[in-house]
Amino acid sequence: MKKNILLIHTGGTISMQLNTETGGVILSAANPLALEIDNIQQFANITEIEAFNLPSPHITPGHMLELKLMIDQGIVDSSFDGIVITHGTDTLEETAYFLELSTNYNIPIVLTGAMRSSNEIGADGVYNLMAAVRVAAADNANDKGVLVVLNDEIHTATNVTKTHSSSVSTFQSPQYGPIGIVTKSAIHFHHAPLARVHLPVKDIQKKVAMFKIYAGMEPDMLQSVASLGYDGVVLEGLGQGNVPPALLPGIQQLLEKNIPVIVVSRCFNGIAQDIYAYEGGGKMLKDLGVRFEHGLSGQKARLKLLLELCLG
């Protein structure tokens, strides 16, 4: 018996076309995927809705919240067995992680996209969509959190990131790898997340800034955060979570104003931790009251802090 899948479109390259006159990829008024839905229906009963038609750099946390509310309504009001969301790849990992934090369902929620538009040679959108629907309809995809499916790989929303600007194999989970694969005949999972964090946000009214730390970084931008009305700060620290000493007064000022400061590592692999006790080292930051997030990228740590602040 085929399962019922809610397919939500948000835009991105998967629903764009290459303009042969200008050579640029542009939004298409008619979603090119619409012609392929009949072929994908062999794997599940598809109900389509369009949330918005936006390139992914236009997506904001407000749009992510809209998606979350659509998912809530779709699951509560209808008997869907899974959700598939098409999304541009630039911010796909952020939307996926937002939904991982803000939803708490046992059915699969799967995001997918494309690196090549529908009329380019080697277009990957239809195949990725078909794979995502197959994963969403698979019994063994339940209770694994929000998933990202592209290029025959299944990744968790928490770990996946875009690692290449144009390759079809861009989505990887550094240090962890995919949790499953899509084959011609089956969906295979070889491990699963150990735990999930649930932050049931209902509105987005806070602002969180993020800075990538670099050698000799000047303190003025960090010091301006409070005056600009930001509610929290994420720092992508050097190595295991260290900063130039010039930033320490600014960090201390933020903490004294009850503006939380989170540190992650700017490295793809490894985690930030309070090891070094020299000025600006992770141990000194921890002693000041800075919080370390283990295993999250800067952009995901920013979303997590944002949702925490919105929940008060």
Higher pLDDT, residue 121 or 248:
248
Beta-bridged to residue 84, according to DSSP, are 7, 110
Task: Give residue 124's pLDDT band: very low, low, confident or very high (50, 70, 90).
Answer: confident
Q: Is 77 exposed, middle or buried (0-12, 13-18, 19+ CB in 10 A)?
A: exposed
Give the tokens for residue 216: 């000799």
Examine the pLDDT at 246 and tell me if it is beyond 70.
yes
Residue 34: the pLDDT is 64
Q: Which residues are catalytic?
A: 13
Examine the pLDDT at 15 and tell me if it is beyond 90.
no
Separation CA 67–CA 110 (nearest Å): 12
Give the tokens for residue 185: 């005949």
154 and 28 Cβ atoms separated by less than 8 Å: no
Give the tokens for residue 13: 């390259």
Task: Give residue 242's pLDDT band: very low, low, confident or very high (50, 70, 90).
Answer: very high
Examine the pLDDT at 31 and tell me if it is beyond 90.
no
Give 279-309 pLDDT, tens digit per residue: 999 999 999 999 999 889 999 999 999 999 9
Examine the pLDDT at 30 and tell me if it is beyond 60.
no
Residue 150: the pLDDT is 98
Phi, psi of 18 (to 5 degrees): -80, 125
Give 37-80 pLDDT, tens digit per residue: 778 889 999 999 999 999 999 999 999 999 999 999 888 778 89
